Amino acid sequence: MNNFFDIRARQAAAAKGTAASSSKQTGTTENQRLQPWVEKYRPRSLDDVTAQDHTVTVLRRTLQSANLPHMLFYGPPGTGKTSTVLALAKQLYGPELIKTRVLELNASDERGISIVREKVKDFARMQLSNPPSGPAGEEYRKKYPCPPYKIIVLDEADSMTQDAQSALRRTMETYSKITRFCLICNYVTRIIDPLASRCSKFRFKSLDERNAGRRIEDIAKLEGVALEDGVVDTLLRCSQGDLRKAITFLQSAARLAGAGQVTNREQKKPKRTKIEDAEDDDEDIDAMDVDAKASASASSTAVTVRSIEDIAGVIPNATISDLTTAIQPTGPGTLYSRVSRTVTSLVADGWSASQVITQMYDAIVLSDEAIGDWQKTKIVLCFSEVDKRLVDGSDEHLTILDLCLQIAGILGAR
């Protein structure tokens, strides 16, 4: 009996402790400015997740019922897989329980078979932690459903070894009463069949431009970054549907454009931190956004299209069209010297070869209608060979020169 009260008392103390420590946390908000925007603007609830309607509807239903299947999320990078599962966990468990109920492992953690055997299994086996009891707990339960299972999130599951995946099979079944798995991967084919068949699959489709664009505009507004016309389109084009990439680019560009404005933002900080002391961290961040908005008027330099392209390492169209005109067969004799001069200056300017071939591919294969299908098929072969060589680490200068001359040869042969 004595023991029991002890626990009560300890919990009460802990609750007090967290209240006290929350005032300390405001110190860390100082660092929030340094936080990547990708983390800062992760969706906080399922409603915030953009463009994945089907998945979100299904998951929202699980919020009402107390049941959840094992899940397998797959889709291209930057489409919100991790964000969705984190948002779901947050809504299910709330800030207190999430630490003890959710285990997140991603590829940067050691994840060989031994980890699956020990860490994952231990966590899966563990008893459920309880929501805080007493009236505070009642309140908490009302806010968050706290269903009786834990979630293990295995991010980038396709980079797990086959052995590690097979070791999961039995674990998933044995502890299914108290544990749910959520596997996240880019390529569903790399997940072994026995695992895939145990999960209900959700495909995340590539974000459509409208939704992604709106999200970027929102963030820019909240951060007080002025955008030039066309910046959003450029961002979307450079990032190829990967919202995370787009946001990172935006942040880097804003840093460069507004590097001088940081000081006045910092001056406002102390005032705010005192007011927000008692409130929880969601609101804290919202308030931060308001603050950022206030300083929006102060930052004068806008993010330009050029700076985005610079950061993304995109080669200006003029340079690429130089190259494509150089390889057109106009008059024999000068071809080599023309191509080699262009390629040499391209390499000296430091453009990365993989970027060069991506953009050349767009320019020649996708958008040049004048080239016949037969020639295009041959050209595509060259691209494939060159890409492989570059990945193997061949010399960029020789490889690009080779590619250009071969394409020129094919174009000349018609």
Partner 1 sequence: MALLVDKHRPRTLESLTYHPDLSARLSSLAASGDFPHLLIYGPSGAGKKTRITATLRALYGPGAEKIRIDSRVFLTTSNRKLEFNIVSSNYHLEITPSDVGNYDRVVIQDLLKEVAQTQQVDLAAKQRFKVVVINEADSLTRDAQAALRRTMEKYSPNLRLMLLANSTGNIIAPIRSRCLLMRVAAPTEAEIMDVLAKVGKKENYKSCEDLERRIAHDSERNLRRALLMFEAVHAQNDNPSDKTSIPPPDWEALIGVIATDIISERSPARILQVRAKLYDLLTHCIPATTILKTLTFKLMPKIDDGLKSEVIKWAAFYDHRIRMGSKAIFHLEAFVAKFMRLYEGNLLGMDIDFDD
Name the residues that contact partner 1, by CB under 8 A.
31, 33-34, 107-109, 244-245, 248, 252, 255-256, 259-260, 262, 310-313, 332-333, 335-336, 340, 344, 347-355, 389-399, 401-402, 405-406, 408-409
User: What is the widest separation between alpha-carbon atoms in the chain?
Assistant: 98
Within 71-143, residue ranges assigned H as helices are 81-101, 113-115, 121-125, 134-143
Min separation Cβ 252 and partner 1, Å: 5
Q: Which of 148, 66, 131 is nearest to 97 (CA)?
A: 131
Min separation Cβ 251 and partner 1, Å: 9
Min separation Cβ 342 and partner 1, Å: 14
Min separation Cβ 339 and partner 1, Å: 9
Nearer to partner 1, 19 or 413 (CB): 413
Min separation Cβ 260 and partner 1, Å: 6
Nearer to partner 1, 328 or 344 (CB): 344
The CB density around residue 253, as the number of other CB atoms within 10 Å, is: 27
Nearer to partner 1, 31 or 65 (CB): 31
**What distance in Å separates the CA atoms of residue 312 and residue 243, rounded to the nearest whole number?**
13
Q: Which residues of 46-84 are buried (b: 16+ CB within 10 A; e: fewer)?
A: beebbbbeebbeebeebbeeeebebbbbbbebbbbbbbb
Min separation Cβ 253 and partner 1, Å: 10
Strand partners, 150: 179
Task: Retrieve residue 107's tokens.
Answer: 């590829």
**What distance in Å separates the CA atoms of residue 113 and residue 166, rounded to the nearest whole number?**
9
Min separation Cβ 340 and partner 1, Å: 8
**What distance in Å separates the CA atoms of residue 325 and residue 291, rounded to the nearest whole number?**
51
Min separation Cβ 313 and partner 1, Å: 6
Residue 240: DSSP 8-state: T
Nearer to partner 1, 116 or 312 (CB): 312
Nearer to partner 1, 135 or 332 (CB): 332
Nearer to partner 1, 33 or 376 (CB): 33
**Environment class of 281 (CB within 10 Å of its CB; exposed 0-12, middle 13-18, buried 19+):** middle
**CB-based contact 181:194 (threshold 8 Å):** no
Helix (H) / strand (E) containing 58: helix 53-64
Nearer to partner 1, 48 or 387 (CB): 387
**What distance in Å separates the CA atoms of residue 267 and residue 270, rounded to the nearest whole number?**
7
Nearer to partner 1, 348 or 370 (CB): 348
Nearer to partner 1, 277 or 395 (CB): 395
Nearer to partner 1, 27 or 135 (CB): 27
**Environment class of 143 (CB within 10 Å of its CB; exposed 0-12, middle 13-18, buried 19+):** exposed
Strand partners, 185: 74
- What distance lies between CA 366 and its chain's CA centroid? 28
Min separation Cβ 403 and partner 1, Å: 8
Min separation Cβ 271 and partner 1, Å: 20
Q: Which residues of 147-171 are buried (b: 16+ CB within 10 A; e: fewer)?
A: bebbbbbbbbbbebeeebbebbeeb
